[in-house]
Amino acid sequence: MDDLIRIDGSHGEGGGQVLRTSLSLSAITGRAVEIANIRGGRAKPGLQAQHLAAVRAAARICGASCKGDALGSLYLLFEPKHPVRSGDYRFEIGTAGATTLVAQTLIVPLALAGGSSTVVIDGGTHNPMAPTADYLRHVYASALREMGFRFEADYGPPGFYPRGGGELKVRIEPASEIAPIVLTDRIAPNLRAHIVTSCLPESVSERAEKVFADELQIHASSRVVGGTSPGAAVTIVGNHCGFSSLGERGKRMEKVAGEAIEDARKWILGKASVDEHLADQLVLPALFARGESRWSTPSVTEHLRTVIWVAKHFLDFEAHIDEETGFVSLSPC
């Protein structure tokens, strides 16, 4: 394995993004990758359920053999055996782990595979340390659509911590010519809110709707469901931005909505063209664009630096981050 890529999983943000980016690029390029010190920067290092689900999902789409694919493992050897194949796939995390992060590991590889795919993932749809399903559906999908990637996402039922039990469904169409994304100027955010509650009275979502109308003067759509996973979440979405907050026992819905509104107001006062989370999520698709992509972020995060660092192990490209202005540029070689 002279072409083996070796990655230190504790580098930079030292979390799951090192793993997921490595898996995506290994599947796309066909290059084997060895990752040591997986999630070495976290209090509980090693592969957790959602990370293991991402490993096995990525392995399935490219026939990869794996060593170290076990809960708690600090080491993984991932060797693709064939190019990524489009198709219908179903994966189960088994916990309330983030279905959206597993999906983001697969979307770009499957879009480049030349055929249509459907991916269904069981687990958590609204997690505190991951993009919500509403963010994936309305922010990430919209941004990638501007580049020529086409996918649609929806969920039902939702899955909240600790029970999970949610279902995320993603339909991915083949991408042909990938255009660079150029977002040098802020455009009107066009904010709107999405509320989801499960196993809670309808009045809970109505209270959140009132907060959004009174405090931010925006429309809110509500999804009120039953099921087995009690919980609540709000996600404010707009052009290249999204802000989420999750409910928890004893936390009033007015506070849940207020937290997302506070983040949205900070965004409105700024000048960046994308939110800080989308800023690092754009790196992977931009690697396959025909030309230079440019965007700006309100905060240069360790996640952004890390995803570029990982990608440099797999592909040749030029990237520049202006730490003062937050401008990012990326040009495939």
Between CA 329 and CA 333 the distance in angstroms is 13
Element (H or E) spanning 276, and its range? helix 276-281
Query: Does the annotation count 194 as an active-site position?
Result: no
Whether residue 55 contacts residue 78, with contact meaning beta carbons closer than 8 Å, is answered with yes
Q: What is the tally of helices (H) and strands (E) in the chain?
A: 10, 15
Element (H or E) spanning 84, and its range? none
Output DSSP code: residue 77.
Answer: E
Select which of 194, 240, 303, 320 is catalytic.
Answer: 303
Q: Is 271 helix (H, G, I), strand (E, B) or coil?
A: coil
C-alpha Rg value of the chain to the nearest Å: 19
DSSP per-residue string spanning 140-199: IHHHHHTTT-EEEEEESS--BTTTB-EEEEEEEEPP-SPPPPB--S------EEEEEEES
Task: Give the catalytic positions in this structure.
Answer: 303
